[in-house]
Amino acid sequence: MTAEVPEKTPAMLAFGFPDDVEHVPQSPYEKDGKFYCPCRCGEYDGRGVSTPSHAYASTRVHSEHANAHGYKAAGGRSATGGSTPPRRSVPSPATSRPRAGAGAPSPCGCGCGGASRGLFCPGHDSRFKGILKAAHLSGDTLGHPGTGEQAPPLEIAAFLDERRGGGTFWLDKVTGGAK
């Protein structure tokens, strides 16, 4: 009995897939305004994308990876003797890397009493700008958002500008642009 040789698809010709591999992109089709390009293995139907060329590319990546590792469809035996590995769940980016400012929450720098993973709770930097400006105009001192100690408003503004990487953003907000 001879094995049936599949017809060469445009993907096989364009991407140079040999006849003896199981994973090869087939002809794309459109469904509900999206294009799909199935793999010859029958287990991968491609992704619903906007163009046929993107559908080919998606299935080509699947095919090249599966062929390079010798994976066979439906739990079959690979060329190296192993079976198709089970699908792994990939952790979401939110859980796979630590966030900026990750760690124990600290008190919000505006003095509201809320807990923040950064210097301020969301939106409270704007709130603190008003507090800082009012303290500057009245000559009062405030709790420093970095150290918690009492400090003059211009010193706090300089600290916040340094923390931003330079410039006079906070100083301009406190003094109204006058230096």
DSSP 77-105: B-TTSPBPPPPPPPPPHHHHSPPTT-SS-
Tokens at residue 141, please? 């001192």
Q: Does 89 map to a domain?
A: no
Domain span including residue 14:
10-84
pTM passes above 0.85: no
Distant-in-sequence, close-in-space partners of 134: CB < 8 Å, separation ≥ 6? none
Number of domains, the chain: 2
CA–chain centroid gap for 8, Å, is 38
- Do 23 and 67 meet the contact criterion of CB atoms below 8 Å apart? yes
Instruction: Based on the fold, state whether residues 55 and 121 are members of the same structural domain.
Output: no
Q: Per residue of the chain (179 residues), what is the pLDDT tens digit?
A: 444 444 555 555 555 677 677 878 888 888 888 888 888 888 888 778 888 888 888 888 888 888 777 777 654 444 444 444 444 444 544 444 455 555 678 888 888 888 888 888 888 888 888 888 998 899 999 888 888 889 998 898 888 888 888 888 888 888 886 55
- Note every long-range contact of 66-69, with CB atoms under 8 Å and residues 24 or more positions apart, other chains counting: 66/22, 66/23, 66/39, 66/41, 67/17, 67/21, 67/22, 67/23
Phi, psi of 70 (to 5 degrees): 70, 25
Distant-in-sequence, close-in-space partners of 29: CB < 8 Å, separation ≥ 6? 35, 36, 37, 38
Phi, psi of 146 (to 5 degrees): -90, -40
Q: Does 166 map to a domain?
A: yes
* The last residue of a domain, from among 24, 49, 84: 84
